[in-house]
């Protein structure tokens, strides 16, 4: 009954906090709600929540709280918090609760959020999550569980997020990926966190606490099967080797860790481990007698790494065979390996059809296996070795490849010396090359183990070194400052001239958005006047800088700007809105033009909005019809020229230019030709899309709407429409579609040429002039020959009335 009451109280409190975060705009209420959620994560003596309440919040409400924060990351109250408050209250919730829930929410947020400042914020929190050792806490929390408390699906998802974090972040962030998320840094960090979890496990076992290494083993196997075993085991193997040298608890932990690796990942773990350890003794201390209890491990160690694969160095062969020979229980496997290797070496089909590199690899394995056998074991296997020597030598010596014959000679000499057949030893004459010398070097006695360092806490060493170096540098710089400026305390401020601060401007707490999607979200949802103004001022430049992002949201952003009102009395609101809409239309012409021309005849628009649509289309068409600004091209060409021109001493002027100037200065001319700059031809960006601006505006002009009657009372819009269509016609000169546009425009304006409103008549006159100036002359005579006489009479009448 008490637990039920506790659960109910926690649920009611959390629900109240969620409601405040969703709907409240008071910063004090927001801070109180966030502190209330924090109280369920505070385990200190000053915590106001009981242990039962904290456990219930972690179990049932923590993930929901984080998901709520992510969904409201664009809220105004988050940007009203100071940097310290945001780090403590917002970021702190992700860094204080159950790490597995926080990691899943963060990775889901990275996958769902668009490239905005909000994504940068979540990425920064994920980076702090890794830097503060939260992965070690996550692994250790699973070590303390006697039995899995979560579902298998959730555990698989968590394993996938941990092992593939660099891939997930790289696919999302691409070139903006953080250095910590790259495989070269992340997987060594993950290995260090796993070592920390194993160290906590050893300490807990010494204290009498049971632990479970299943999740850590699954993490190790998952990382290795994805191809990152080399980076992880290069960090773990030396530390495990050093810790297991004199500590039986560490040995038991390592054995249990390898036993819990799933069968489907066992091969990748063992393959990476035999390459990372320093010798057979270290391998034996880490994996114990795993080959005796695990069939998959036995197959990998005794068969696959020796007979099926041959890409490894000789050191790996020494480690594997030395590991099998080091323990009495494992020596039968060494004899089994010797039989398999000798049969493979003596097989005539293998000699003929396998690569030379694999035959050399098998020959090395055979020599090392025989060298590790005792004399008594040699006598037991004498008949098999004799058969191998005779059959294998005959096969190798019959080969027409010199390298194969040399292998047979070297191995035949060594086998005969070990078996001591009637006191005779085989001796061949051959020229020693690199391969034969390598085979003979395997017979020399030598220790396989390399010297191993004592266990060192890798997490503390570099940090302490960096801190001591920093303190030393600060001390040195302070001492130098005292030496170079002994009278610094005697300086006076009386002679300093006051700085002119009359032109200073107050710095806004809010920062302008850096991503176009941030602008869109602020314009849609924000109620903060400062953020809305900053977003509106930054929108145009962001649209022009990132055309790819602008094309994704061009229509949506045009819709928001078209319906936007100046409810905050922003200075220059109309100009900023219009400039952004023009930039969107220029960047993504066809979709935005189709949207604006469709909305021009739609219901529930004011006359001001319809006039805004015409102005935006006209300005966009004018910008598209102009040639591309030559400033950028000139700056690029000058930069390219500066980079490509070699530096010639202190004077970079080319010698040919110097000679040309001297000739020009000494040459007398009666007249001097004026050099005019050659105009470079550029494509007209308006011509291919002129029809998308022009024809949709002619579709529904004769259909009166409830709030819009173009041919009736709304003659102001009619005059502006005719003038805009005439402008489109004028800008489409030399365009292939100009003839069709001219015919359609002349048909439209001819019906209203005697309109009562003077503005409409002037628009008709401008449109007719645009038709005659922009249409090709041959099309005038062919397409509108019937209207030429009537148009001439109308123009003559206008001239007479004006005169």
Confidence of residue 635 (pLDDT cuts 50, 70, 90): very low
> Which pairs from 316-321 meet CB under 8 Å and 24+ separation?
316/274, 316/275, 317/361, 317/364, 317/365, 317/368, 318/279, 318/280, 318/368, 318/448, 319/274, 319/277, 319/279, 319/280, 319/283, 319/448, 320/274, 320/280, 320/283, 321/280, 321/365, 321/368, 321/369, 321/372
Over residues 203-223, mean pLDDT? 94
Q: Which residues pair with 421 in a beta bridge?
A: 424
Over residues 630-647, mean pLDDT? 40
Residue 294's SS3 state is: coil
Q: Is the pLDDT of residue 433 over 90?
A: no
pLDDT of residue 456: 43
pLDDT of residue 802: 64
Q: Are 715 and 761 a contacting pair, CB within 8 Å?
A: no
Q: What token pair was written down for 754?
A: 């005697």
pLDDT of residue 280: 94
- Give which of 110, 163, 171 is closest to 138, Cα–Cα: 163
Q: Are 525 and 535 a contacting pair, CB within 8 Å?
A: no
Tell me the residue range of the domain where 720 lies. 685-802
Q: How far apart are CA 598 and CA 798, in angstroms?
A: 35
State the Cα angle at 682 between 679 and 686, rounded to 5°: 130
Of the two residues 746 and 713, the one the predictor is more confident about is 746
Q: How far apart are CA 762 and CA 28, in angstroms?
A: 60
pLDDT of residue 44: 72
Q: Is the pLDDT of residue 22 over 70?
A: yes
Q: Is the pLDDT of residue 446 over 60?
A: no
Q: What token pair was written down for 73?
A: 């990351």
Q: Report the length, in residues, of the chain.
A: 803
pLDDT in tens, 454-509: 444 443 433 443 344 444 444 444 444 444 444 444 444 555 566 666 665 555 56
Q: Is the pLDDT of residue 637 over 70?
A: no
pLDDT of residue 270: 96
Over residues 123-134, mean pLDDT? 95
Q: Is the pLDDT of residue 452 over 60?
A: no
pLDDT of residue 620: 95
Q: How far apart are CA 285 and CA 246, in angstroms?
A: 10
Does a structural domain hold residue 722? yes
Q: How far apart are CA 204 and CA 380, in angstroms?
A: 48
Does a structural domain hold residue 717? yes
- What is the value of pTM for the model shown? 0.74
pLDDT of residue 323: 95
Q: What token pair was written down for 767?
A: 């449109």
pLDDT of residue 167: 95
How many CB atoms are located within 10 Å of the residue 152 CB? 8
Q: Are 239 and 199 a contacting pair, CB within 8 Å?
A: no
DSSP result, 582-597: HHHHHHSHHHHHHHHH
Using the Cα atoms of residue 121, residue 125, residue 126 and residue 131 in order, give the sign of their dihedral: positive
Mean pLDDT across the chain: 84
Q: Are 110 and 172 a contacting pair, CB within 8 Å?
A: yes
Q: Is the pLDDT of residue 150 over 80?
A: no
pLDDT in tens, 726-742: 999 999 988 889 989 98
pLDDT in tens, 586-634: 999 999 999 999 999 888 888 899 999 999 999 999 999 988 755 544 4
Q: How far apart are CA 350 and CA 361, in angstroms?
A: 13
Over residues 173-192, mean pLDDT? 94
Q: Which residues pair with 424 in a beta bridge?
A: 421
Q: Are 122 and 115 a contacting pair, CB within 8 Å?
A: no
Of the two residues 756 and 536, the one the predictor is more confident about is 536
Does a structural domain hold residue 207? no
State the Cα angle at 323 between 321 and 325, rounded to 5°: 70
Residue 309's SS3 state is: coil
How far is the first Cα of the chain from the last one, in angstroms, to the nearest whole number? Answer: 101
For residue 265, with 0-12 CB atoms within 10 Å meaning exposed, 13-18 middle and 19 or more buried, which class applies? buried
pLDDT of residue 110: 94
For residue 269, with 0-12 CB atoms within 10 Å meaning exposed, 13-18 middle and 19 or more buried, which class applies? buried
pLDDT of residue 474: 45
| % of the chain surpassing 90 pLDDT | 50
3-state secondary structure 424-472: ECCCCCCCCCHHHHHHHHCCCCCCCCCCCCCCCCCCCHHHHHHHHHHHH
For 245, phi and psi rounded to 5 degrees? Answer: -65, -35
pLDDT of residue 2: 61
Alpha helices (H) in 604-670, listed in sequence order: 607-625, 630-644, 655-666
pLDDT of residue 483: 43
Q: What token pair was written down for 753?
A: 């040429």
- Give which of 373, 363, 386 is closest to 436, Cα–Cα: 363
pLDDT of residue 486: 44
How many distinct structural domains can be found in the chain? 1
pLDDT of residue 442: 82
pLDDT of residue 482: 41
Specify which of 210-219, 444-453, 714-723 reaches the highest per-range mean pLDDT: 210-219
pLDDT of residue 145: 81
3-state secondary structure 35-70: HHHHHCCCCCCCCCCCHHHHHHHHHHCHHHHHHHHH
pLDDT of residue 479: 46
Residue 421's SS3 state is: strand
Q: How far apart are CA 613 and CA 599, in angstroms?
A: 8
796 secondary structure, DSSP code: H
- Give which of 167, 308, 276 is closest to 226, Cα–Cα: 167
pLDDT in tens, 556-576: 999 999 999 999 999 999 999
Looking up tokens 């000699």 gives: 351
Over residues 162-179, mean pLDDT? 93
DSSP result, 473-542: HHHHHHHHHHHH-TTGGG--STTPPPP--TT--PPPSSPPPSSHHHHHHHHHH---HHHHHHHHHHHHHH
Q: What token pair was written down for 435?
A: 């391969």
pLDDT in tens, 515-546: 999 999 999 988 889 999 999 999 999 999 99
Q: How far apart are CA 578 and CA 586, in angstroms?
A: 12
- Angstrom CA distances, 150 to 155, 260, 363, stand at 7, 18, 51
Q: How far apart are CA 676 and CA 590, in angstroms?
A: 38
How many CB atoms are located within 10 Å of the residue 764 CB? 27
Q: Is the pLDDT of residue 441 over 60?
A: yes
Integer Rg of the chain from CA = 41
pLDDT in tens, 330-374: 999 999 999 999 999 888 888 888 899 999 999 999 999 988 988
Using the Cα atoms of residue 767, residue 721, residue 798 and residue 747 in order, give the sign of their dihedral: positive
Does a structural domain hold residue 751? yes
Give the largest Cα separation in the chain, rounded.
137
CA 534 to chain centre: 28
Q: How many CA atoms lie within 13 A of 239 on its CB side?
A: 18
Q: How far apart are CA 536 and CA 124, in angstroms?
A: 26
| % of the chain surpassing 70 pLDDT | 84
Does a structural domain hold residue 30? no
């Amino acid at each position: 009954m008490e637990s039920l009451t506790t659960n109910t109280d926690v649920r009611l409190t959390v629900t109240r906090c969620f409601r405040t975060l969703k709907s409240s705009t008071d910063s004090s209420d927001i801070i109180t709600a966030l502190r209330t959620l924090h109280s369920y994560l505070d385990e200190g003596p000053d915590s106001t929540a009981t242990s039962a309440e904290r456990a219930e919040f972690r179990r049932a409400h923590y993930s929901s709280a984080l998901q709520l924060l992510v969904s409201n990351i664009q809220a105004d109250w988050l940007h009203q918090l100071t940097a310290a408050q945001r780090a403590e209250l917002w970021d702190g919730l992700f860094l204080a609760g159950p790490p597995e829930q926080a990691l899943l929410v963060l990775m889901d947020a990275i996958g769902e959020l668009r490239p905005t400042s909000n994504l940068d914020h979540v990425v920064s929190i994920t980076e702090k999550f890794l830097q503060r050792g939260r992965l070690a806490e996550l692994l250790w929390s699973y070590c303390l569980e006697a039995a899995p408390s979560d579902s298998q699906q959730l555990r698989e998802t968590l394993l996938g997020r941990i092992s593939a974090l660099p891939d997930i972040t790289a696919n999302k962030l691409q070139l903006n990926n953080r250095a910590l998320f790259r495989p070269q840094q992340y997987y060594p960090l993950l290995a260090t966190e796993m070592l920390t979890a194993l160290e906590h496990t050893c300490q807990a076992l010494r204290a009498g606490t049971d632990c479970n290494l299943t999740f850590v083993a699954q993490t190790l196997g998952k990382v290795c099967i994805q191809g990152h075993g080399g980076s992880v085991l290069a960090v773990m193997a030396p530390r495990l080797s050093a810790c297991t040298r004199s500590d039986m608890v560490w040995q038991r932990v390592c054995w249990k860790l390898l036993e819990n690796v799933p069968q489907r990942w066992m091969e990748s773990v063992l393959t990476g481990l035999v390459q990372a350890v320093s010798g057979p003794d270290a391998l034996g201390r880490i994996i114990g007698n795993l080959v005796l209890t695990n069939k998959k491990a036995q197959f990998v160690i005794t068969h696959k790494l020796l007979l099926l694969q041959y890409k490894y160095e000789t050191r790996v062969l020494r480690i594997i065979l030395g590991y099998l020979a080091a323990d009495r229980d494992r020596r039968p496997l060494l004899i089994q390996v010797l039989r398999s290797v000798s049969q493979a070496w003596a097989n005539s089909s293998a000699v003929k059809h396998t690569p030379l590199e694999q035959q050399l690899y098998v020959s090395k394995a055979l020599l090392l296996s025989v060298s590790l056998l005792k004399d008594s074991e040699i006598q037991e296997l004498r008949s098999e070795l004799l058969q191998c020597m005779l059959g294998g030598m005959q096969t190798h010596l019959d080969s027409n490849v010199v390298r194969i014959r040399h292998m047979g000679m070297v191995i035949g000499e060594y086998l005969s010396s070990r078996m001591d057949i009637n006191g005779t030893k085989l001796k061949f004459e051959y020229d020693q090359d690199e391969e034969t010398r390598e085979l003979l070097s395997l017979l020399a006695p030598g220790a396989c183990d390399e010297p191993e360092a004592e266990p060192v806490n890798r997490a503390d060493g570099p940090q302490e070194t960096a801190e001591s170096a920093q303190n030393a540098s600060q001390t040195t710089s302070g001492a130098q400052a005292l030496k170079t400026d002994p009278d610094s305390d005697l300086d006076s401020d009386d002679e300093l001239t006051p700085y002119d601060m009359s032109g200073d401007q107050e710095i806004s707490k809010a920062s302008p958005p850096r991503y176009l999607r941030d602008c869109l979200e602020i314009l849609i949802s924000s109620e903060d006047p400062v953020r809305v103004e900053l977003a509106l001022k930054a929108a145009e430049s962001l649209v022009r800088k990132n055309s790819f992002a602008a094309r994704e949201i061009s229509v949506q952003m045009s819709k928001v700007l078209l319906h936007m009102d100046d409810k905050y009395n922003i200075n220059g609101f109309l100009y900023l809105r219009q400039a952004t809409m023009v930039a969107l239309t220029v960047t993504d012409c066809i979709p935005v033009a189709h949207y604006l021309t469709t909305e021009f005849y739609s219901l529930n628009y004011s006359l001001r909005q319809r006039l805004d649509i015409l102005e935006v289309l006209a300005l966009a068409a004018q910008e598209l019809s102009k040639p591309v600004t030559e400033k950028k091209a000139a700056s690029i060409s000058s930069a390219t020229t500066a980079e490509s021109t070699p530096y010639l001493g202190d004077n970079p002027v080319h010698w040919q230019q110097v000679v040309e100037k001297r000739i020009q200065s000494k040459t007398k001319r009666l007249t001097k030709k004026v050099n005019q700059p050659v105009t470079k031809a550029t494509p007209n960006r308006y011509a291919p899309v002129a029809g998308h601006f022009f024809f949709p505006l002619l579709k529904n002009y004769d259909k009166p709407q409830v709030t819009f009657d173009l041919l009736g009372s709304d003659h102001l819009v009619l005059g502006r429409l005719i003038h805009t269509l005439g402008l489109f016609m004028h800008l489409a000169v030399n365009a292939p579609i100009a003839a069709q546009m001219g015919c359609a425009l002349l048909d439209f304006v001819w019906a209203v040429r005697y309109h009562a409103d003077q503005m409409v008549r002037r628009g008709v006159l401008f449109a007719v002039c645009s038709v005659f100036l922009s249409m090709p002359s041959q099309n005038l005579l062919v397409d509108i020959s019937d209207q030429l006489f009537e148009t001439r009479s109308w123009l003559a009448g206008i001239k007479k009335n004006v005169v």
